[in-house]
Amino acid sequence: MFESNDLLSELRSRQPLLWLNPDAGCPLPANAPTADQITEAENRLARCEPLMAQLFPELHASAGKVESALVPADRLQSALTDPGKPQGTWFIKRDDALPVAGSIKARGGFHEVLALAESIAIEQGLVDATGDRRLLASPSARALFAQHTVTVGSTGNLGLSIGVMAAALGFKAVVHMSTDAKLWKKERLRQRGVQVVEHEGDYAQAVAGGRAQALAMPRCHFVDDEGSLMLFLGYAAAARHLAKQLAEAGRHVDAEHPLFVYIPCGVGGAPGGITYGLTALFGPHVHCFFAEPVASPCMLVQLAAGCAEPVSVYDIGLDNRTEADGLAVGQASYLVSPLMATQVAGIFTVSDDDLYTQLHVVKRTMKIELEPSAVAGVGGPAWLSESAAGRDYLRAHNLDLSTATHVIWTTGGSLVPPEEHRRFQARAKAPGVSHG
Ligand SMILES: *Cc1c(COP(=O)(O)O)cnc(C)c1O
């Protein structure tokens, strides 16, 4: 079932590694989401912008658009690379600062709740297929939504995103969390009128708890992080905006100018959706790598085992215990893993110690404060240029790093309380990043 015993023992030893996907570039399964479905998600988010601006004062400035900046990362690049070896140009994609939800989960989560609100309102004749979505904030729409419940199981950030959006529209919102989820996240949700239910055990048990409750309840929508197409499409819609930002920054993407993207991976929805959207736009010229904790490499384990049957990190003897709570997932999404089987270029793993070191370096060089999960992609460029597997990849695809664009996707942190950030920084042992 597992492609190599060497890989298995390396994973078990919890040594950070880069795994290259042997099936990258192969055709997608026949039932894969279509480009039209991504466009539909983009259109939905666009037509809901006036509604979003009305619901959230912090979105006035962007006229309701929930997007993040693409910022040059020269200072981080100089701190982490040898100036004698040209490595192309680094950027950070700042989903850590996505408004309202403070993490990448805003993309998928808001999209799913908006799609639900639209479908209920259309069914009841309150709005038509594409008309003014500010009607979804009208008293009659709110009265309608108040009869519906939205539930989700989450390690934290998805709960924040779904809970805040659902409550803002007037839905009853219930978030199932594992007991070890961060206290401040639970408190923030309760302050917004969201019911928080705590579960013993890990993320998968919180999800199972949410699913069971939703099945037993009338007019209850369960946001299924392990298999939701609406979440996936919301993430995929990020691609077109990034393409526009790259063009504005004068970065071409083609065979001579490859685009490398490094994204932290939990259950796989966020990095998978983004990879899917970017591949639809850039084809073979985009190379997406995922980053997973050494204790929770669920997507790596699933892809290396083939997608015929579910395989979890527990199955290979790992414990799924990591400070990167957004990535502490034992079993990858059953929707996303078969899609990533031919799209993700590779996956590297990262230790908690390295995450803390990277948090410190990013703060020192970029003045950006991230949460541990959010920084996992930072080691990506070094894996490509400095590891044997990375150099194999560049050689096999005939890629020139000196003309490359590297996008490190940072995924959460702007809502983390200052005292938590101080704790993260205190955990960072020394400046400078080690890997491998
Ligand atoms: C959830 C999360 C991710 C990963 O997204 P998945 O859809 O679970 O793969 C990465 N970073 C942060 C901060 C997250 O909360």
With cut-offs at 50, 70 and 90, classify the pLDDT of residue 201: confident
- Name the one residue in this structure whose structure tokens are 């990506």: 380
**In the prediction, which pLDDT does 132 show?**
96
Domains 5-35+58-101+238-429 and 104-229 share a fold: yes
Mutating to test ligand 1, I would choose from 177, 203, 373 the residue with most ligand atoms within 8 A of its C-beta, which is 373
With cut-offs at 50, 70 and 90, classify the pLDDT of residue 170: very high
**In the prediction, which pLDDT does 36 show?**
97
Mutating to test ligand 1, I would choose from 105, 184, 263, 325 the residue with most ligand atoms within 8 A of its C-beta, which is 105
Task: Assign domain 104-229 to its CATH architecture.
Answer: 3-Layer(aba) Sandwich (3.40)
User: Phi then psi for 197, rounded to 5 degrees?
Assistant: -110, 125
Element (H, E) at 304: helix 298-304
With cut-offs at 50, 70 and 90, classify the pLDDT of residue 429: low
For residue 264 and ligand 1, the question of a CB distance below 6 A is answered with yes
Closest to 20 measured CA to CA, from 345, 293, 292, 304: 345
Q: How many residues belong to the chain? A: 436
Range 5-35+58-101+238-429 classified under CATH 3.40.50.1100: yes
Q: What are the pLDDT digits (tens) for 61-83?
A: 999 999 999 999 999 999 999 88
Which residues lie closer than 8 Å to 419 by C-beta, 6 or more apart?
A: none
- What is the arithmetic mean of pLDDT over 195-217? 87
CA distance readout (Å), 255 to 53, 91, 289: 40, 19, 18
For residue 269 and ligand 1, the question of a CB distance below 6 A is answered with yes
For residue 104 and ligand 1, the question of a CB distance below 6 A is answered with yes
What residue owns the CA closest to ligand 1's atom 10?
264
Query: With 80 as the cut, is the pLDDT of residue 431 above it?
Result: no
* Domain ranges (residues) in the chain: 5-35+58-101+238-429, 104-229
Mean of per-residue pLDDT scores for the chain? 94
Taking the centre of ligand 1 as the mean of its atom positions, its distance from the CA of residue 329, in whole angstroms, is: 10
For residue 377 and ligand 1, the question of a CB distance below 6 A is answered with no
Closest to 10 measured CA to CA, from 318, 394, 345: 318
Taking the centre of ligand 1 as the mean of its atom positions, its distance from the CA of residue 362, in whole angstroms, is: 19
**In the prediction, which pLDDT does 152 show?**
94
Taking the centre of ligand 1 as the mean of its atom positions, its distance from the CA of residue 265, in whole angstroms, is: 6
220 CB burial (10 A radius; 0-12, 13-18, 19+): middle
Q: d(Cα 218, Cα 148) in Å, to the nearest integer?
A: 8
Taking the centre of ligand 1 as the mean of its atom positions, its distance from the CA of residue 86, in whole angstroms, is: 31
* Of the candidate ranges 179-193, 269-283, 376-390, the one whose mean pLDDT is the lowest: 179-193
pLDDT: which is higher, 182 or 97: 97
- What is the arithmetic mean of pLDDT over 224-235? 96
User: Dmax of the chain from CA atoms?
Assistant: 64
Residues paired with 412 in a beta bridge? 103
Query: With 50 as the cut, is the pLDDT of residue 242 above it?
Result: yes
